[in-house]
Chains A and B, each alone.
Chain A
Amino acid sequence: MKKIIFGIAFIIFFSFLIVSAINMRTFGEPNYSEMDDYFIENAQSETGANNVVTSVVFDYRGFDTLGEATVLFTAVVGVVALFRGVKK
Chain B
Amino acid sequence: MKEMSKIVRTVTNFVYGFIIIFGFYIIAHGHLTPGGGFQGGAVVASAFALLLISYGRLITKKFLKKDIMSITESCGLTMFIVVAFLGLGITFFYNFLANTGSWFGNTTVIGINPGDMNTGGVIPLMNIAVGLEVLSALGVIVLIMAGAAEFTKKKENS
Contact = CB atoms under 8 A, between A and B. Distances in A.
Chain B's interface size range is 35 or more
A47 B98 contact: yes
Interface of B: 30-36, 66-67, 70, 73-74, 77, 80-81, 84, 92-93, 95, 98-99, 104-108, 110-111, 113, 115, 119-123, 126-127, 130, 133-134, 137, 140-141, 144, 147-148, 151
28 contacts: A44-B111, A45-B110, A47-B98, A47-B121, A48-B108, A48-B119, A49-B108, A49-B119, A50-B115, A51-B30, A51-B31, A53-B34, A54-B31, A54-B36, A58-B31, A58-B36, A58-B122, A58-B127, A59-B123, A63-B92, A66-B84, A69-B77, A72-B133, A72-B134, A73-B137, A76-B140, A86-B144, A86-B148
Interface of A: 44-51, 53-55, 57-59, 62-63, 65-66, 69-70, 72-73, 75-76, 79-80, 83, 85-86, 88
